[in-house]
Amino acid sequence: MAGWPTFRTVKRHPLFESAAAAIQPDAKRFDEQLRGVEWAIATNPHRFPEISRTVLRLAKTDEWPGAPRLRIYFSVDNENLCTLRWVEVIEGPSTEEDESG
């Protein structure tokens, strides 16, 4: 149907999994937070900024109760697949640069 978003498969690279495992014990709602990012990437990965001279894009989350602000690096492998490559906690106060990408 025209107008419906394309839902891509989002897989997690082993490096992403190990970085996520290190963050998760300190973030009670980490899984919920990741599901939200995975949905956003699955439905429209091109809305996230590209990192120059790489194949990566960057998604950032806001801090909310039980979950820190995150920086998530991912690739758009083809029209049907995206791969989460790395995740890290954004330390410090939110800045204008954080909000713009």
Q: What CATH number is associated with residue 34?
A: 3.30.2310.20
Contact 98, 29 (CB under 8 A): no
Instruction: With respect to residue 21, please indicate whether it lies within any of the assigned structural domains.
Output: yes
Side chain identity, residue 22: A
Full residue range of the structural domain in which residue 28 is found: 9-90
- The total number of structural domains in the chain stands at 1
The pLDDT value recorded for residue 24 is 80
CA-closest candidate to residue 17, choices 1, 3, 30? 30
Neighbouring C-alpha atoms within 13 Å toward the C-beta of 31? 2
Six-digit token string for 83: 């791969």
Instruction: With respect to residue 34, please indicate whether it lies within any of the assigned structural domains.
Output: yes
The pLDDT value recorded for residue 98 is 52
The pLDDT value recorded for residue 36 is 93
Instruction: With respect to residue 13, please indicate whether it lies within any of the assigned structural domains.
Output: yes
Instruction: With respect to residue 72, please indicate whether it lies within any of the assigned structural domains.
Output: yes
The pLDDT value recorded for residue 25 is 76
**In this predicted model, what pLDDT tens digit does every residue of 43-94 receive, in sequence order?**
999 999 999 999 999 999 988 887 889 999 999 999 999 999 999 999 876 6
Instruction: With respect to residue 32, please indicate whether it lies within any of the assigned structural domains.
Output: yes
